[in-house]
A and B are shown apart, each in its own frame.
Chain A
Amino acid sequence: MNPYPLDPYWMVALKALLVVVGLLTAFAFMTLIERRLLARFQIRMGPNRVGPSGLFQPIADAIKSIFKEDLVVERADKVLFVLAPLLGVVFALLAFGAIPFGPPGSFFGFQPWVVNLDLGILYLFAVSEMAIYGIFLAGWASGSKYSLLGSLRSSASLISYELGLGIALLAPVLLVGSLNLNDIVNWQKENGWLFLYAFPAFLVYAIAALAEAARTPFDLPEAEQELVGGYHTEYSSIKWALFQMTEYIHFITASALIPTLFLGGWTMPFFNVPYLWMFLKIAFFLFLFIWIRATWFRLRYDQLLRFGWGFLFPVALVWFLITALVVALGLPRVYLVYLSGLSFLALLGATFYSPKPVRKGGGA
């Protein structure tokens, strides 16, 4: 018997609509929340003019971006120029549907996910990789050098972080023995959260998720200080807003995926209310990412590549091999917990006893 019953098609359609509308609303208010939080991090107040404490700012922004002049650059590839932001948004929206928000039947007697895919993680990969096409085509179709540089950066960084991301996800998949996100969450409900079993993979995945959402410290594709606006330099009006939308939806999706894969999803050892914990976990990661944006700097292009290939990839690979050994030899899974703990202690040690960086060349 299928543990994950199917919904009637009209319900799936309704939930898909709900997810799209919910994500777009969340995007609108995330822009406000991020601006307010960044402002508070910088001891400013942030937007507080439109409506009570600035609550209607997203509406004002939406009206503004829709009614602004929509420029299409003379030298642009007209079709791709229009298609690129749409591609980005569509593929960003697609990824969210597979994430479960509660146990089966908890959504008014229906299932709290849009689709239950046996290839869940593979699907997420496919869809989130496609979203890079939006960025890349936008830069290429703009016919401007800064845009092209921005999109080149995004494709180069994609290759460098995506390997680490993909291999980091293999560890939980090996342990659970399924690609289905529901299976992964249920496994965690019974055996404890996956970050206990795969702390290095969790770390690599969280860092790579930042890169995938093109957020600080990996926001190279749209480095304002270096590339004007990066891949969306030539975009204005609603098309520019669509890129913002893409970025924020990636941001929200990443914040939802990290808890789903490593922190137990909607489950909680105590006081288990399905939706509440999922939303709290998402909110926590959204806050964490904004906090990081308020604090850290942007990595240089070569630094990102070196970091991706030299740190994320080997760490993920080593952890994958360890997990594979444990699973293949049938050793108790507790060994992985010990090793995870050790790696966490190593990270703490590296944090507290890190040597002073060696400065190369001159410079103060």
Chain B
Amino acid sequence: MTLKALAQSLGITLKYLFSKPVTVPYPDAPVALKPRFHGRHVLTRHPNGLEKCIGCSLCAAACPAYAIYVEPAENDPENPVSAGERYAKVYEINMLRCIFCGLCEEACPTGAIVLGYDFEMADYQYSDLIYGKEDMLVDVVGTKPQRREAKMTGKAVKPGYVVPYVRPELEGFKAPTEGGKK
């Protein structure tokens, strides 16, 4: 170690003193997610409003954690819920069992189930961690605890992330993109 190296090292640290911290102050500022992030599942719809899910249970078969339960029912031809013969009357994912591996997304023949961005799902009761259709359809914003808080405080759901990219398979899902750091 030479005097020169010691002096140079002081210069290096001084340079970092005046640079911006790399810390993301997470709950205060949103996290920028990575393109392959696996978050809470989203059940997407066709552009005409019909659900993509046809209740085939292939996702449940593919699921390594046995986290998915699907109960199909016949579509009413006059007033169909999904674009196929059948639809998912009950579609539940146990978020405590789910390992967010994305195999359900790969198994789905219609691209109905897609892993989205939400990750703030910590909750107090086991039963609240079982997400039904009403918690996962595209138009739902936020996770169960987030929506509960929003309902109590009267404020809008504040997502803890921004996405600096667009995933086309998340058709119709509006994710915050502004203000995120790459």
Contacts and interface: CB of A to CB of B under 8 A. Distances in A.
Given A296-B9, A351-B3, A351-B7, A42 B16 contact: yes
A354 interface: yes
B8 to A, nearest CB: 9
Nearest to A287: B17
Contacts of A350: 3
Given A296-B9, A354-B4, A357-B1, A45 B25 contact: yes
Contacts of A45: 21, 23, 25
A355 B2 CA distance: 7
Interface stretch (A33-41, A84-92, A95-103, A167-175): A33-41
B20 interface: yes
A43 B13 contact: no
Contacts of B23: 43-45
A294 interface: yes
B17 A357 contact: no
Nearest to A292: B10
Contact of B10 (A37, A39, A40, A295): A295
Contacts of A294: 13, 17
B152 interface: no
Q: Which of A37, A44, A295 has the most CB of B within 10 A?
A: A295
Nearest to A48: B25
A42 B14 CA distance: 10
A356 B20 CA distance: 33
Interface in B136-177: none
A291 interface: yes
B6 A296 contact: yes
B13 A39 contact: no
B9 A43 contact: no
Contacts of B14: 291
B2 A43 contact: no
B19 interface: yes
Interface in B1-60: 1-7, 9-10, 12-14, 16-17, 19-23, 25
B1 A43 contact: no
Nearest to B10: A295
B17 A356 contact: no
A291 B21 contact: no
Given A40-B21, A291-B14, 17 more contacts: A37-B17, A39-B21, A40-B17, A41-B17, A43-B19, A43-B23, A44-B22, A44-B23, A45-B25, A291-B17, A295-B13, A296-B6, A347-B3, A350-B3, A351-B4, A353-B4, A354-B3
Interface of A: 37, 39-45, 48, 291-292, 294-296, 347, 350-357
21 contacts: A42-B16, A43-B19, A43-B23, A44-B21, A44-B22, A45-B25, A48-B25, A291-B13, A292-B10, A295-B9, A295-B12, A296-B9, A350-B3, A351-B3, A351-B4, A352-B4, A354-B3, A355-B2, A356-B2, A357-B1, A357-B2
